[in-house]
């Protein structure tokens, strides 16, 4: 497994993705945003349900998924296991253009409910 280096996030560069992602995450009850490893993490109370990261110049939203959904979700080439968190049931959806915000919202809502 390759070492993932967390670089400081250039928020200005990613506002076109980060602003709507925040809107999706922060409208949920008890949701809040913290910064860990230089990236926004979204929590419901103390439990993390979404993480915004950039790897190799590509934005992604990491989320938890039920184990029985992994196979189906990973059949989508835009979804990959999240480095260092895959063993906890985390996957990452690439947020390439155009972003399907309805899909992002559905995946993050499921993660929030877990």
Is 28 a residue whose pLDDT tops 70? Answer: yes
61 in a structural domain: yes
In 3D, which of 25, 17, 24 has the Cα closest to residue 42?
25
What confidence tens digit (pLDDT) does each residue in 68-110 have? 999 999 999 999 999 878 778 899 999 988 899 999 999 999 9
Q: What is the pTM of this model?
A: 0.88
Planar angle of CA 111, 77, 114, nearest 5 degrees: 10
Q: Distance between alpha carbon 61 and the CA centroid of its chain, in Å?
A: 2
28 in a structural domain: no
Domain count, the chain: 1
53 in a structural domain: yes
Parent domain of 89: 34-97
Residue 47 sits at φ, ψ, to 5 deg, of -95, 130
108 in a structural domain: no
110 in a structural domain: no
In 3D, which of 8, 27, 35 has the Cα closest to residue 108?
27
40 in a structural domain: yes
């Amino acid at each position: 497994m390759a070492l993932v280096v967390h670089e400081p996030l250039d928020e200005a560069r990613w506002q076109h993705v980060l602003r709507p992602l925040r809107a999706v995450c922060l409208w949920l009850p008890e949701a809040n945003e913290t910064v860990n490893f230089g990236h926004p993490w979204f929590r419901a109370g103390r439990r993390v349900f979404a993480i915004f990261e950039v790897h190799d110049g590509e934005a992604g939203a990491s989320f938890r998924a039920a184990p029985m959904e992994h196979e189906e979700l990973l059949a989508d080439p835009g979804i990959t296991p999240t480095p260092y968190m895959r063993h906890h049931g985390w996957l990452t959806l690439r947020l390439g253009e155009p972003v399907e915000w309805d899909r992002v919202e559905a995946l993050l809502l499921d993660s929030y409910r877990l």
